[in-house]
Chain A
């Protein structure tokens, strides 16, 4: 079963605009991670936010986590055509040492030049 659900399923913006993607999940988590997948490629880790953190930044990426609402958002600022990809949230709900991640269905972001 898939824990995270990304919203929207698809997003199309112009270069230079900001892109916001949301992720909702159902159970308690240890951490939540965001991954990017370019067409035909494997996934690349973007950022990890722990359950006791509320916001995290990495370059043009900003991630927020609201554990009371069981939701997270990924903001990409000043988007570029190269940001075109699918973005997945993944939750670590193991509660122990399994380090298992459960991925959502992803948001397909298209950045038009």
Chain B
């Protein structure tokens, strides 16, 4: 079974530039998550999709971050414009949610450096 795919793996940009990350979840997983992980901390949920609808985006800085999952499969996360404090690893995860629990499968992440 193929895992969660993310691209790019690394990205370096100047502050105020824009950047986009892509994620393809495991086939059949209805729920997709984007996390931000700052060095030395645990992942912080940015946005959660159920199919192509947003379930939770309470911690997404909506003035600069946006995300979409148009066909309920792959997803993109965009930052525009980037700030220095956005330097972090952006993790995508997916899960087959249901009565058996919500184990999440993570992609390798995109390491973003904002200069």
Question: A: which residues have CB within 8 A of B?
Answer: 2, 4, 31, 33, 35, 40-45, 48, 50, 88, 90, 92, 97-106
Interface size class of B (residues with CB under 8 A): 20 to 34
CB of A2 within 8 A of CB of B42, answer yes
Question: B: which residues have CB within 8 A of A?
Answer: 4, 31, 35, 40-45, 48, 55-56, 91, 93, 95, 97, 101-109, 111
Complex partner residue of B91 from A43, A50, A90, A104, CB under 8 angstroms? A43
In the complex, 5 of the A-B residue pairs with CB atoms within 8 angstroms, ordered by the A residue number, are: A31-B101, A42-B106, A43-B93, A45-B105, A103-B44
Closest 10 CB pairs of A and B: A42-B106, A103-B42, A99-B102, A99-B97, A43-B106, A45-B103, A42-B108, A103-B43, A105-B42, A88-B42
Query: A2 CA to B40 CA in the complex, in Å?
Result: 13
With both beta carbons as reference points, the residue of chain B lying nearest to A103 in the complex is identified as: B42
Please name all residues of chain A whose beta carbon is closer than 8 Å to the beta carbon of B91 when the two chains form the complex.
42-43
Please name all residues of chain A whose beta carbon is closer than 8 Å to the beta carbon of B95 when the two chains form the complex.
99
CB of B41 within 8 A of CB of A42, answer no
Given contacts A42-B91, A92-B102, contact A97 B42 (CB under 8 A): no
Query: A34 CA to B30 CA in the complex, in Å?
Result: 22
CB of B4 within 8 A of CB of A42, answer yes
